[in-house]
Amino acid sequence: MILLFNHTLTEAQKADAKISLGVEDFVALPHELQNIWSNVPPEIESLKSLLVPIRAFVQKEAKEGDHILIQGDFGATCQMVKYAKSLGLIPVYATTKREVVEVKEDDKVIKKSLFKHERFRRYED
């Protein structure tokens, strides 16, 4: 599974990918490409040229039928999902379940949201 993702996979996500998707290996972006993916500048008009090195990495590392986890900037995600499909890859995203916990501290109530991995879901047309 190629990882175009802003976070580190949890052990639960790794286990789920292995069991439900048959993933054997996880391939993270090199540091310099991860920096691009995680810091898409909001002021630029087009992402086309920004994503060229990420596309090249994906094309080099992935083979048809591989899964690719794509989550991040909406525009970059949209472009990379389309690109992944053109290469015959299977783009997916992680879904979570939010659990809200209320904690009382003195005269305050603090709400904390906990996010738990549920499953991977394919991007559909």
Contact 54, 30 (CB under 8 A): no
Encode pLDDT of 81-99 as tens digits: 999 999 999 999 999 898 8
| Residue 36 banded pLDDT, cuts 50, 70, 90 | very high
Q: Largest alpha-carbon pair distance within the chain? A: 57
The residue extents of the domains of the chain are 2-122
pLDDT at 113 over 90: no
Per-residue model confidence (pLDDT) at position 112: 87
Encode pLDDT of 42-83 as tens digits: 999 999 999 999 999 999 999 999 999 999 999 999 999 999
The pTM of the whole model exceeds 0.75 = yes
pLDDT at 103 over 90: no
Q: Helices 31-38 and 52-61, interaxial angle, to 10°?
A: 130
CA distances in angstroms from 112 to 8, 46, 99, 106, 109, listed in the order given: 21, 36, 8, 16, 10
Chain centroid, CA 107 distance in Å = 39
